[in-house]
Structure 1
């Protein structure tokens, strides 16, 4: 999934240039994630004014090496604004996209069966890769997909966690090329990719999808990778996206209370 000619999002030309993982400076700056969390706590009265949900289920998937504990702030926030948030209940995420497929689909089917409604999925980092794969496997059960700093497109080796992922999961990133290409492509459900150009773990270019009439990128200025799931501007964007009526999609309106935190929108492609 290296970028094709011109480095277009989601392209996978095997002969294209390689991307680099974020540099040491950005990696060390990931410590600011705690500041992003504290800022969200201070801004909670404002965050609670976000568009409210209609009570549908939202499955929150943690990133690599993280557990459901990392998604507690996200789930709590989503419940506060009217969503029915669910944990993944699979312990620590040690990776393995192909290995986790069956268990993740079973968890999705369990929630879908219990609620009787399509389920939105919010995935942080590797969790977002899982989320996109679930949408491909079971579009009849998925309402919306939001990814946060997820490396699913272009040269997915361009992260500072690739070697550890391969060691712990037993999966080589080059394996399952057909599956990786599908995950990088267009989804059958509406989707939003939220990312930051100052991500210290994942090269931001691996997080960009191909914009369309139901798919968009939202870049959050100065956010870290470890803080993206608790960043106030990112949380507001997640809330706004999930509040859309089922089957409808409109581009994200950046004129809200966190307008200064977002990069200008990309134009949808035909």
Structure 2
């Protein structure tokens, strides 16, 4: 499995790590940490040194109940940071975490090379057409409704069956719009209860039937710290455990706050499967 980023083929036969860079004031774990150019560049440099292959830039908090942000504010937050990072690290692969086609396109023009959409096109009907025109990889996540009300919509007759159907339709739509490079994200914590998150983890290998690389984003989430009765700050060990299980079930990319630990997890996994 490969994805094409700016003309460079990235081989996902060895799983890759995507480092999280939130430039929002209200993200659940690292909101407000990176306020100026020096802090942002230092964070990016550290993640690259630790082995990140991608940096996922988010300017809109998608935690449950997060405050909605205008398009103008999301652009104001994201574009200067994308340009700053590209200026200092021109070979970097930036993923722009947005569900808005305008934000996606403007950040791609500024130097980003992947679109990571929590709604898989459901919150902006122009998104897939835009990504197809831009010819960049597209990450599609499973979610119902919006970040503001998604946790009110956790009723499923057969969760994994419905997820596979959801992704099958989304993949078909993406192909129709000429999107060649796709990844899917099961959306841990999005429109799912704690128990449902672990049901997805238990049956994660079923998503491999779609023959699309799977990205896992569980870093320090409530499915870990609530189960362990702790806090996001104390949820690194649980994150590594779930990342390991996910790799063993076929995941090809880990989206994390803690790059060094995730890279070590991948290294051990690769050695076990050498």
Q: TM-score range by the shorter chain?
A: 0.3 to 0.5
Whichever structure has more helix as a proportion of its residues is 2
The TM-score with structure 1 as length reference comes to: 0.37
Length-normalised TM-score, structure 2:
0.37
